[in-house]
């Protein structure tokens, strides 16, 4: 039976359900149309084809991830905020492995994807503020955090961890390593700044 009040958002909702159930590779307009209860050509009233639908799924998923990370760090700071951010990142990937697989890691030219991706990066940079890192140091650190969380999540959702050891314990170790690395970097950056300041004062 056709769904009443079909819209672009409703089509994306159904498409995401389909991706969650059977994976991104099985996403077709015909499959979405069956679930919606309309003929496939009718979907073109709401979306501009399969490519557009994939893009909208990616935008929605990236926005969901940004929302999760924002909520996870709200009211927290320093090591606690970073730990909760990394936990939230992995949890989203584990809860929605097929949806997570739809996330492009380089949104580039798409403004909607770029906006959602920037939100993710901004949350990470905000957390890094507590470590007193800014400029290039903050960007390097943000990339490292994203690489650590994404790498672990991608490997786990792909079935990459087959040994018996607990993956939660492995991820906690990764978080500890990231935090320890940031503290080391912060100390090195501050020491370098102090040395430069002392050198400038001596020159004067």
What whole-number distance in Å separates Cα of residue 117 and Cα of residue 149?
Answer: 15
Determine, yes or no, domain membership for 136: yes
Question: At 148, which CATH number?
Answer: 1.10.357.10
Q: 8 lies in which domain range? A: 1-47
Average pLDDT over residues 127-156: 90
Residue 174: is its pLDDT beyond 90? yes
**111 shares a domain with 42:** no
For residue 99, give the nearest of 65, 72, 122 by alpha carbon: 65
Q: Is 49 left (phi over 0), alpha (psi -120 to 50) or beta?
A: left
Q: How high is the pLDDT of residue 191? A: 47
Residue 99 sits in the same domain as residue 193 = yes
**pLDDT tens per residue across span 61-86:** 999 999 999 999 999 889 999 999 99
Q: Are residues 23 and 117 in the same domain?
A: no
Looking at the structure, do residues 38 and 84 belong to the same domain, yes or no? Answer: no
Is pTM beyond 0.85? Reply is: no
Are 42 and 75 found together in one domain?
Answer: no
Q: What is the pLDDT of residue 69?
A: 96
Work out how many domains the chain is built from and give that number: 2
Q: Report helix, strand or coil for 74.
A: coil
Pair (74, 96) in one structural domain? yes
Within a domain: 54? no
pLDDT for the residue 2: 46
């Amino acid at each position: 039976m056709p769904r009443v009040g079909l819209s672009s958002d409703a089509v994306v909702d159904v498409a995401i359900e389909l991706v969650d159930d059977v994976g991104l590779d099985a996403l077709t307009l015909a499959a979405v149309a069956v679930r919606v209860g309309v003929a496939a050509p009718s979907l073109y009233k709401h979306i501009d084809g399969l490519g557009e639908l994939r893009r909208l799924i990616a935008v929605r998923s990236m926005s969901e991830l940004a929302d999760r990370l924002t909520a996870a760090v709200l009211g927290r700071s320093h090591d606690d905020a970073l730990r909760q951010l990394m936990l939230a990142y992995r949890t989203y990937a584990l809860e929605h492995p097929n949806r997570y697989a739809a996330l492009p890691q380089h949104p580039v030219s798409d403004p909607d994807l770029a906006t959602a991706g920037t939100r993710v990066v901004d949350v990470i940079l905000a957390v890094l503020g507590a470590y007193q890192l800014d400029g290039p140091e903050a960007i390097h650190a943000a990339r490292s955090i994203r690489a650590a969380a994404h790498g672990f999540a991608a490997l786990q959702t792909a079935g990459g961890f087959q040994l018996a050891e607990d993956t939660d314990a492995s991820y906690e170790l990764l978080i500890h390593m990231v935090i320890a690395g940031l503290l080391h970097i912060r100390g090195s950056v501050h020491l370098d700044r102090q040395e430069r300041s002392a050198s400038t004062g001596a020159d004067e």
